[in-house]
Copies of this chain bind each other. A is one copy, B any other.
Amino acid sequence: MDAHRKDIHNSELPVLCRACEARHRGVCGALTPSQLVSLNKQSTRKSVEAGTELIGESQESRTYSNIISGVVKLTKMMSDGRQQIVGLQFAPDFLGRPFRIDSGISADAATDVNVCSFPKTVIERMIKEAPELEHRLLEQTLKELDEARDWMLTLGRKTAAEKVASFLYLIATHVNPDAESDSVSFQLPLTRSDIADFLGLTIETVSRQLTKLRKDRVILIVNNRHVEVPDLDALAERASQ
Protein backbone atom coordinates (compact mmCIF):
# COMPACT_ATOMS: atom_id res chain seq x y z
CA MET A 1 0.00 0.00 0.00
CA ASP A 2 2.71 2.41 1.04
CA ALA A 3 4.82 1.21 -1.87
CA HIS A 4 2.87 3.56 -4.08
CA ARG A 5 3.97 6.60 -2.23
CA LYS A 6 7.68 6.49 -2.95
CA ASP A 7 8.37 9.10 -0.33
CA ILE A 8 12.08 8.89 -1.00
CA HIS A 9 11.77 10.61 -4.34
CA ASN A 10 10.54 13.81 -2.85
CA SER A 11 11.87 15.70 -5.86
CA GLU A 12 9.16 14.15 -8.03
CA LEU A 13 6.51 15.85 -5.94
CA PRO A 14 5.02 19.26 -6.55
CA VAL A 15 6.73 21.83 -4.36
CA LEU A 16 3.52 22.73 -2.57
CA CYS A 17 2.83 19.10 -1.67
CA ARG A 18 6.26 18.37 -0.24
CA ALA A 19 5.65 20.06 3.08
CA CYS A 20 1.92 19.41 3.16
CA GLU A 21 0.50 17.42 6.02
CA ALA A 22 -2.38 16.23 3.85
CA ARG A 23 0.06 14.15 1.85
CA HIS A 24 1.01 12.23 4.96
CA ARG A 25 -2.00 12.07 7.21
CA GLY A 26 -4.66 13.34 4.78
CA VAL A 27 -6.32 12.02 1.67
CA CYS A 28 -3.47 13.01 -0.67
CA GLY A 29 -1.48 10.20 0.90
CA ALA A 30 -3.49 7.85 -1.28
CA LEU A 31 -2.03 9.27 -4.48
CA THR A 32 1.05 8.35 -6.49
CA PRO A 33 3.59 11.06 -7.27
CA SER A 34 2.30 11.35 -10.83
CA GLN A 35 -1.29 11.67 -9.61
CA LEU A 36 -0.14 14.32 -7.18
CA VAL A 37 1.54 16.23 -9.99
CA SER A 38 -1.61 16.13 -12.08
CA LEU A 39 -3.85 17.09 -9.16
CA ASN A 40 -1.50 19.85 -8.18
CA LYS A 41 -1.87 21.51 -11.58
CA GLN A 42 -5.55 22.03 -10.86
CA SER A 43 -5.27 22.96 -7.23
CA THR A 44 -5.14 26.41 -5.71
CA ARG A 45 -4.07 27.54 -2.27
CA LYS A 46 -6.45 29.97 -0.65
CA SER A 47 -6.23 31.96 2.52
CA VAL A 48 -9.55 32.94 4.09
CA GLU A 49 -10.13 34.95 7.22
CA ALA A 50 -12.16 33.97 10.26
CA GLY A 51 -15.89 34.14 9.67
CA THR A 52 -15.82 33.37 5.95
CA GLU A 53 -18.36 30.85 4.73
CA LEU A 54 -16.63 27.99 2.91
CA ILE A 55 -19.66 25.83 2.14
CA GLY A 56 -23.23 26.90 2.65
CA GLU A 57 -26.66 27.79 1.38
CA SER A 58 -25.42 30.70 -0.64
CA GLN A 59 -23.11 29.27 -3.26
CA GLU A 60 -23.06 25.68 -4.41
CA SER A 61 -19.32 25.26 -4.14
CA ARG A 62 -17.65 23.72 -7.13
CA THR A 63 -14.58 22.58 -5.21
CA TYR A 64 -13.34 20.25 -2.52
CA SER A 65 -10.55 21.32 -0.20
CA ASN A 66 -7.94 20.11 2.20
CA ILE A 67 -7.49 22.19 5.31
CA ILE A 68 -3.84 23.28 5.51
CA SER A 69 -4.14 25.28 8.70
CA GLY A 70 -6.80 26.75 10.94
CA VAL A 71 -10.11 25.46 12.24
CA VAL A 72 -13.38 25.08 10.34
CA LYS A 73 -16.72 24.80 12.11
CA LEU A 74 -19.69 22.87 10.71
CA THR A 75 -22.99 24.40 11.74
CA LYS A 76 -26.64 23.40 11.54
CA MET A 77 -29.31 26.01 11.99
CA MET A 78 -33.02 25.86 12.81
CA SER A 79 -35.52 28.13 11.11
CA ASP A 80 -35.95 30.17 14.28
CA GLY A 81 -32.23 30.91 14.54
CA ARG A 82 -31.13 28.37 17.13
CA GLN A 83 -27.93 26.79 15.96
CA GLN A 84 -25.60 23.95 16.81
CA ILE A 85 -22.02 23.36 15.78
CA VAL A 86 -21.94 19.71 14.72
CA GLY A 87 -18.24 19.35 14.03
CA LEU A 88 -14.85 20.99 14.05
CA GLN A 89 -12.31 20.25 11.37
CA PHE A 90 -8.58 20.66 11.65
CA ALA A 91 -5.67 20.20 9.25
CA PRO A 92 -5.34 17.97 7.30
CA ASP A 93 -9.07 17.16 7.12
CA PHE A 94 -10.83 16.94 3.79
CA LEU A 95 -13.69 19.39 3.28
CA GLY A 96 -16.66 18.47 1.11
CA ARG A 97 -18.75 15.39 0.48
CA PRO A 98 -18.38 13.42 -2.71
CA PHE A 99 -21.51 11.49 -3.77
CA ARG A 100 -23.75 13.00 -1.17
CA ILE A 101 -25.93 16.02 -1.46
CA ASP A 102 -25.80 18.77 1.06
CA SER A 103 -27.57 18.13 4.33
CA GLY A 104 -28.23 21.60 5.65
CA ILE A 105 -24.76 22.02 7.05
CA SER A 106 -22.66 25.10 6.46
CA ALA A 107 -18.90 25.23 6.93
CA ASP A 108 -17.32 28.46 8.16
CA ALA A 109 -13.77 29.41 8.99
CA ALA A 110 -13.65 29.64 12.79
CA THR A 111 -10.12 31.03 12.68
CA ASP A 112 -8.09 32.29 9.74
CA VAL A 113 -7.81 29.27 7.49
CA ASN A 114 -5.59 28.07 4.65
CA VAL A 115 -7.00 25.53 2.24
CA CYS A 116 -5.86 23.70 -0.86
CA SER A 117 -8.83 23.50 -3.25
CA PHE A 118 -9.55 21.23 -6.20
CA PRO A 119 -12.41 21.20 -8.72
CA LYS A 120 -14.99 18.58 -7.76
CA THR A 121 -14.77 16.97 -11.18
CA VAL A 122 -11.06 16.27 -10.81
CA ILE A 123 -11.48 14.61 -7.42
CA GLU A 124 -14.43 12.55 -8.58
CA ARG A 125 -12.45 11.29 -11.57
CA MET A 126 -9.47 10.45 -9.38
CA ILE A 127 -11.63 8.49 -6.98
CA LYS A 128 -12.63 6.21 -9.84
CA GLU A 129 -8.98 5.73 -10.80
CA ALA A 130 -7.63 5.29 -7.27
CA PRO A 131 -9.80 3.18 -4.93
CA GLU A 132 -7.30 3.95 -2.20
CA LEU A 133 -8.55 7.54 -2.28
CA GLU A 134 -12.09 6.40 -1.58
CA HIS A 135 -10.69 4.25 1.20
CA ARG A 136 -9.14 7.32 2.81
CA LEU A 137 -12.41 9.17 2.51
CA LEU A 138 -14.19 6.26 4.21
CA GLU A 139 -11.66 6.35 7.01
CA GLN A 140 -12.04 10.09 7.53
CA THR A 141 -15.82 9.72 7.46
CA LEU A 142 -15.68 6.95 10.05
CA LYS A 143 -13.46 9.17 12.18
CA GLU A 144 -15.96 12.03 11.90
CA LEU A 145 -18.79 9.65 12.76
CA ASP A 146 -16.96 8.54 15.90
CA GLU A 147 -16.36 12.14 16.89
CA ALA A 148 -19.99 13.05 16.25
CA ARG A 149 -21.14 10.18 18.45
CA ASP A 150 -18.70 11.06 21.20
CA TRP A 151 -20.14 14.53 21.12
CA MET A 152 -23.71 13.23 21.24
CA LEU A 153 -22.86 11.70 24.60
CA THR A 154 -21.48 15.05 25.73
CA LEU A 155 -24.55 16.96 24.48
CA GLY A 156 -27.08 14.52 25.84
CA ARG A 157 -25.66 13.45 29.15
CA LYS A 158 -23.01 15.79 30.52
CA THR A 159 -23.56 18.77 32.81
CA ALA A 160 -22.60 22.30 31.76
CA ALA A 161 -19.40 22.03 33.81
CA GLU A 162 -18.46 18.75 32.16
CA LYS A 163 -19.31 20.09 28.73
CA VAL A 164 -17.00 23.08 29.03
CA ALA A 165 -14.20 20.89 30.38
CA SER A 166 -14.80 18.44 27.53
CA PHE A 167 -14.49 21.24 25.00
CA LEU A 168 -11.24 22.51 26.47
CA TYR A 169 -9.91 18.97 26.55
CA LEU A 170 -10.87 18.46 22.91
CA ILE A 171 -9.06 21.60 21.83
CA ALA A 172 -6.04 20.94 24.02
CA THR A 173 -5.56 17.49 22.53
CA HIS A 174 -6.16 18.61 18.92
CA VAL A 175 -4.06 21.74 18.89
CA ASN A 176 -1.00 19.93 20.09
CA PRO A 177 -1.60 16.30 19.13
CA ASP A 178 1.79 15.04 20.24
CA ALA A 179 1.81 16.70 23.64
CA GLU A 180 4.27 14.72 25.74
CA SER A 181 3.97 16.78 28.87
CA ASP A 182 0.70 17.01 30.74
CA SER A 183 0.66 20.81 30.57
CA VAL A 184 -0.60 22.61 27.46
CA SER A 185 -1.02 26.19 26.32
CA PHE A 186 -3.17 27.20 23.37
CA GLN A 187 -5.42 29.73 21.67
CA LEU A 188 -9.13 28.93 21.65
CA PRO A 189 -10.25 28.71 18.03
CA LEU A 190 -13.81 29.70 18.94
CA THR A 191 -15.55 32.70 20.48
CA ARG A 192 -17.69 32.20 23.59
CA SER A 193 -20.72 32.28 21.35
CA ASP A 194 -19.30 29.51 19.16
CA ILE A 195 -18.39 27.47 22.21
CA ALA A 196 -21.96 27.82 23.44
CA ASP A 197 -23.27 26.67 20.06
CA PHE A 198 -20.92 23.71 20.15
CA LEU A 199 -21.96 22.69 23.66
CA GLY A 200 -25.68 23.39 23.46
CA LEU A 201 -25.40 26.08 26.16
CA THR A 202 -25.70 29.85 26.44
CA ILE A 203 -22.66 32.13 26.44
CA GLU A 204 -23.39 33.11 30.04
CA THR A 205 -23.21 29.51 31.19
CA VAL A 206 -19.99 28.95 29.24
CA SER A 207 -18.49 32.05 30.83
CA ARG A 208 -19.52 31.00 34.34
CA GLN A 209 -18.10 27.51 33.92
CA LEU A 210 -14.82 28.87 32.56
CA THR A 211 -14.61 31.17 35.56
CA LYS A 212 -15.25 28.22 37.84
CA LEU A 213 -12.47 26.17 36.21
CA ARG A 214 -10.16 29.16 36.56
CA LYS A 215 -11.01 29.69 40.23
CA ASP A 216 -10.46 25.99 40.86
CA ARG A 217 -7.03 26.32 39.18
CA VAL A 218 -7.81 23.68 36.57
CA ILE A 219 -7.10 26.22 33.84
CA LEU A 220 -5.36 29.57 33.54
CA ILE A 221 -7.07 32.19 31.39
CA VAL A 222 -4.22 34.35 30.13
CA ASN A 223 -6.68 36.41 28.11
CA ASN A 224 -10.06 35.71 26.54
CA ARG A 225 -8.63 33.43 23.90
CA HIS A 226 -5.40 32.18 25.43
CA VAL A 227 -5.75 29.29 27.87
CA GLU A 228 -3.21 27.26 29.78
CA VAL A 229 -3.84 23.82 31.23
CA PRO A 230 -1.24 22.89 33.85
CA ASP A 231 -2.52 19.31 34.19
CA LEU A 232 -4.42 17.68 31.34
CA ASP A 233 -5.46 14.76 33.50
CA ALA A 234 -7.13 17.10 35.97
CA LEU A 235 -9.04 18.63 33.06
CA ALA A 236 -10.03 15.20 31.75
CA GLU A 237 -11.27 14.44 35.25
CA ARG A 238 -13.55 17.49 35.12
CA ALA A 239 -14.79 16.36 31.73
CA SER A 240 -15.57 12.89 33.14
CA GLN A 241 -13.37 11.44 30.42
Contacts and interface: CB of A to CB of B under 8 A. Distances in A.
Contacts of A199: 156
A135 interface: yes
Interface string A121-159: 000000000010011011101111110111111011110
Contacts of A74: 149
Contacts of A76: 149-150, 152-153
Contact of A149 (B86, B131, B137, B153): B86
A7 to B, nearest CB: 22
Best-buried of A131, A146, A156, A200 by chain B (most CB within 10 Å): A156
A59 interface: no
The DSSP consensus for interface residues of chain A is helix
A25 interface: no
Nearest 4 interchain pairs by C-beta: A156-B200, A86-B149, A148-B148, A155-B155
21 contacts: A74-B149, A76-B153, A78-B153, A78-B240, A80-B240, A83-B157, A84-B157, A86-B153, A99-B135, A99-B138, A100-B146, A131-B131, A141-B141, A141-B145, A144-B145, A145-B145, A148-B148, A148-B152, A155-B155, A155-B156, A157-B200
